[in-house]
Structure 1
Amino acid sequence: MATRNRIVLASASPRRLELLASAGVEVDVFPSAIPEEEMPGETPGDHVRRLARDKALFTAGRTEGRFFIGADTVVVCDGEIMGKPVDAVDAERMLKKLSGVPHEVITGYAIFDKERDDALCDAVTTRVFFKPLRDEEIAAYIATGCPFDKAGAYAIQGGAAHMVERIDGSYTNVVGLPLCEVVEALRRLGAMG
């Protein structure tokens, strides 16, 4: 890919890379290394938009390219912002909280255009409904190791698919990147034909 219009994904997520590839978006990967801490008084939407923008800008300052895609996903249940679990106990706590109740998956995305020195930022929300989970289901899922790098301790595209009764909104958003919105934003910015 020519450096002039090179698109860089500021994420190590294989799911985000696969989603972009499925839409024909060629990207190079250069993960950001910023802390994903919440700021006081920040709404979940503000939180993910800020982190997405910070990730894109971090990477833009460290590698060549023109367009830099940053993203951050959180799960919100009863007002709690759930990022990635810190350990098995935290994963179990999250999954028990999600059991049988609806929650929201919010992904913020940012596309920074280095040539214009401007970023397009937004967030997409999907409502997810889990079935009531049995303790043994939760334990078996945690034993797979899958929950540990996922917001809310689950991956809809993997071993947790059987836990989801339904979703209202973007499926790819729950996977980690609202693909329709990101591809359209790339087109608007001139990154794609």
Structure 2
Amino acid sequence: MTTAVYLASASPRRKELLSQLGIEFEQFSVDADETPLVNEQPHALVERLARLKAQSGVALGYTDRPVLGSDTIVVIDNESLGKPRDKNDFTTTLKRLSGNTHQVLTAVAFATQTDVLSCVVSTDVTFKTLTDEEIAAYWESGEPQDKAGGYGIQGLGGRFVTHIAGSYFAVVGLPLYETEQLLQAFLRR
């Protein structure tokens, strides 16, 4: 049985990963306010945003098949790190990640007009100790600007990673196993 879904994300990484599951899909983007709520914990934030994106797709009229929404955040010391605002913000972020282990939380949600189901996948990522030169050169590469936590594990940023415990694909932006399992559970409801 071939299942078709909508992917409520403009991310080329999520598009590529979803393609690996062999699921037929159409991709579109949604405009979602990603501002954290007051005192919102990282796990709650990432799950709320994935659900919001999926439900926003339904609200836009994508109602004839499930809508997939996803969000990824980087967390260190229970603080969510978003996409870098500028070079200074990026540098501060990478210095915090340098030589430390942080968590990458990726939430996945499927929604229709009557139902929504979601899950959160947590992966521990450890960075080597970075030099100021490595941080500056990485910024100049252009890769970190649109990435949660200021790095892409699937690109040049992958060379900073010394250890990963959990789902590599969740760090890239869409956990394959969990997405497939969640869709199967959603369709059985």
TM-score (norm: length of structure 1): 0.92
Which string of whole-angstrom CA distances, capped at 9 and with x for unpartnered residues, describes residues 108-135 of structure 1? 1111133xx1011110100000000011
Alpha-carbon deviations, 1:37-92, whole Å to 9, x = none?
Answer: 10112111100110111111111111333110111111011222101111121111
Name the structure 2 match of 1:95: 94
Task: Give the partner amino acid of 1:61.
Answer: A
Greater Cα shift, 130-139 or 84-93: 84-93
CA distance in 2, matches of 1:121, 1:94: 28
Q: 1:42 corresponds to which letter in structure 2? A: E
Identify the range of structure 1 (10-19 vs 105-114) with the bigger mean alpha-carbon deviation: 105-114
d(CA) in 1 for partners of 2:181, 2:95 = 36
Matched length: 186
Partner of 1:187: 184
Corresponding residue to 1:16 among 14, 20, 30: 14
Identity of aligned residues (%): 45
Measured against aligned partners, the alpha-carbon deviations of 1:139-158 in whole angstroms (never above 9, x if no partner) come to 11100111111100000000
Match of 2:32 among 25, 31, 34: 34
The residue aligned with 1:176 is: 173
Amino acid at match of 2:35: E
Counterpart code for 2:48? R
Query: Structure 2: any 5+ residue segments left out of the alignment?
Result: none
CA contact (8 A) 1:73 1:83 kept: no
Unpaired runs of at least 5, structure 1 = none
Cα drift, residue 27 of structure 1: 1.4
What amino acid does structure 2 have at the position aligned with 1:90?
A: D
**Distance between the aligned counterparts of 1:81 and 1:17, measured in 2?**
24
Q: Which portions of structure 1, spanning 4 or more consecutive aligned residues, are displaced by more than 6 angstroms?
A: none
Distance 2:173 2:181 in 1: 16
Aligned to 1:190, the other structure's residue is in SS state helix
Structure 1 residues 6, 24: CA separation in 2 closer, same or farther (over 3 Å shift)? closer
Structure 2 length-normalised TM: 0.94
